[in-house]
Chain A
Amino acid sequence: MNDFIATYGGSILSVFFGVLVVVFYALFSRAGRRRPHFRAIPAFNMLRGQMGRAIESGRDLHVSIGTGGISGDDTATTLAGLAVAEYLAEEAAASGIAPIVSTSDATSAIVAEDALRRPYIRQGNLGDFPRGAACLPALGSVPYAAATMDLLNHDPVLTNIMSGTFGAEAALIDQAANNNELPQLFGAADPRALAVMATSTDHLLIGEEMYAAKAYLRAQLPHLASLRAADVVRIVIAVLIVLAFVAGLLK
């Protein structure tokens, strides 16, 4: 039994998840049906209107998507982090100002630049797009943290948003943000980074919350369906863990 679960468990869960997404999408898109309700995540409320405040104050929004790339283990985390930058770029496109998006990975920088450019294309004002909005201050996690500290210390930044792949080096960036009394939003999957940032900001996206960014910020049906499917799979796994525990006790 254990061998079967170890060999096929992941595949079965993936197929189950896929089927659930399709089922929930069909359910949610039925005419007249109310949209599903999810618990509130206060950190996302902080994001709304940030770009407007940045434009009014003449300062920049710094969005860090972390040190992960899009060709390795961190791909999903980086893409989840990028969703926040995309949302802010959408808000900014009409004004011709884009958030400063930084990363320490060359592949992520290219994807981030493209994600920032897309809203300008959709709104037909590509000429206003500030090229180089996605910057690469350093290659490597610790040099990146040092370069980002310099950015926060010397550039006119209104808010520091970090959402993506981070390790304990996030504490260095956090220190610079605190020295400049910048409000912060932080999302990560790494427990070390989360433990560090829990000390300085209340606006935390903990693990799975970061991956839900698109569903919360855009509320499109496929994203809501995938979020609901993840909730159901989580409950199923939790029940299976409890059953396995009880079965172990009874043995």
Chain B
Amino acid sequence: MRRIITSVAPTVITGIAGILVLLSFVPPLVEALAGLRTILINIAIIVASIALLLGFGRLLNWHWLRFRQRRSGYSLIAFIVALLVFLALSFERVQNWPNVSQAVANLPLGNMVFGFVIAPIQGSLGALLAIFLAAAAVRMARRHRTWGTLWFLVSAVIVLITQIPPTQAAADILQPIRDLFNAIAMGGLRGLLLGVALGTMAVAFRVLFAIDRPQSE
């Protein structure tokens, strides 16, 4: 009985739901299965929402444990702030009841949290990203002195300069080289995307036909 609940049932449900959603994208069946697809997607959204709630508990638990094990003081900050923001936004949401369709970011407190705390912090991390990328490029040049590294660095410099050219003359000289790099990069990108699409298809096939069973024992 346990095996049916933990292994067989999840596999069968996943397979049937997956195949139905897949078939609903096949042209002759689009209209016939559109309603069923909507129902299945709505169920998935509800399950994902419950998972988000559980995930929030997991997040709090992880940071609390790290703080108790004296691994990082930042975890205590993350724990307290996450809890405060959750309580404050929940309170604001309850106050606006039953107007639940309004986005959190449009409510005054939500707007303050997202606009004055989260967005600036993420923006500053984004700015750091540029510096880290430059540091990574320097590290690469020191670690590997190959033709590939040279190619990588030259193309990065040319892309940077042509993005905001210092003079018109520089733009005129470098733009054809940039176009060449773009053409080569586009070819590589398409090859990469083709591989990703086929890989995705292979993983989907294995899950649909129960070769891989990430959802069951």
List chain B residues, Cβ under 8 A from A10. Answer: 25
Q: Is there a chain A Cβ closer than 8 Å to B44's Cβ?
A: yes
Stretch at the interface among A51-59, A90-98, A192-200, A242-250: A192-200
Q: What number of B residues sit within 8 Å (CB to CB) of A?
A: 59
Interface string of A99-143 (1 = CB under 8 A from B): 000000111011100110010010000000000100111110011
Interface string of B162-174 (1 = CB under 8 A from A): 0000000000000
Stretch at the interface among B96-104, B105-113, B122-130, B175-183: B122-130
Given A138-B59, A223-B211, A227-B202, A169:B129 Cβ within 8 A: yes
Closest residue on chain B to residue A111 by CB atoms = B214
Cβ B199 vs Cβ A11 within 8 A: no
Cβ A109 vs Cβ B137 within 8 A: no
Closest residue on chain A to residue B140 by CB atoms = A199
**Bound Cα distance A198, B63 (Å):** 31
**Bound Cα distance A192, B201 (Å):** 22
**Bound Cα distance A165, B89 (Å):** 29
Residues of A157-215 at the interface with B, using a CB-CB cut-off of 8 Å, are 168-169, 171-172, 174-175, 178, 189, 191, 194, 196, 198-200, 206-212, 214
Cβ B133 vs Cβ A196 within 8 A: yes
Closest residue on chain A to residue B208 by CB atoms = A18
Cβ A106 vs Cβ B129 within 8 A: no
**Bound Cα distance A232, B150 (Å):** 34
Cβ B196 vs Cβ A207 within 8 A: yes
List chain A residues, Cβ under 8 A from B135. Answer: 175
Q: What number of A residues sit within 8 Å (CB to CB) of B?
A: 74
List chain A residues, Cβ under 8 A from B128. Answer: 172
A residues apposed to B, CB below 8 Å? 7-8, 10-11, 13-14, 17-18, 21, 69-71, 76-77, 79-80, 82, 105-107, 109-111, 114-115, 118, 121, 132, 135-139, 142-143, 145-147, 150-151, 153-155, 168-169, 171-172, 174-175, 178, 189, 191, 194, 196, 198-200, 206-212, 214, 222-223, 226-227, 229-230, 233-234, 237
Partner of B217, one of A105, A118, A139, A169: A118
Closest residue on chain B to residue A137 by CB atoms = B62
**Bound Cα distance A217, B56 (Å):** 33
**Bound Cα distance A227, B51 (Å):** 32
**Bound Cα distance A71, B52 (Å):** 12
B residues apposed to A, CB below 8 Å? 22, 25-27, 44-45, 47-48, 51-56, 58-59, 61-63, 65, 71-72, 74-75, 78, 122, 125-126, 128-129, 132-133, 135-137, 139-140, 152, 189, 192-196, 198-207, 211-212, 214-215, 217
Cβ B136 vs Cβ A175 within 8 A: yes
Cβ B203 vs Cβ A80 within 8 A: yes
23 residue pairs A–B, Cβ–Cβ below 8 Å: A10-B25, A14-B22, A14-B201, A18-B205, A76-B199, A77-B196, A79-B203, A80-B203, A106-B53, A106-B56, A107-B51, A121-B217, A132-B58, A142-B125, A142-B126, A154-B71, A171-B132, A175-B132, A175-B136, A189-B192, A222-B211, A226-B202, A234-B198
Closest residue on chain B to residue A112 by CB atoms = B214
Cβ A77 vs Cβ B200 within 8 A: yes
Given A206-B195, A230-B198, 7 extra CB contacts under 8 A: A106-B51, A106-B56, A118-B217, A154-B72, A172-B128, A208-B196, A223-B206
Partner of B129, one of A132, A171, A208, A212: A171
Minimum distance in angstroms from B206 CB to a CB of chain A: 6
**Bound Cα distance A200, B134 (Å):** 12
Given A71-B48, A191-B192, A208:B199 Cβ within 8 A: yes
List chain B residues, Cβ under 8 A from A135. Answer: 58, 62
Cβ B62 vs Cβ A110 within 8 A: no
List chain A residues, Cβ under 8 A from B195. Answer: 206-209, 234
Cβ B55 vs Cβ A136 within 8 A: yes
Partner of B59, one of A8, A110, A139: A139
Partner of A139, one of B48, B55, B133: B55
Cβ B212 vs Cβ A145 within 8 A: no
List chain A residues, Cβ under 8 A from B217. Answer: 118, 121
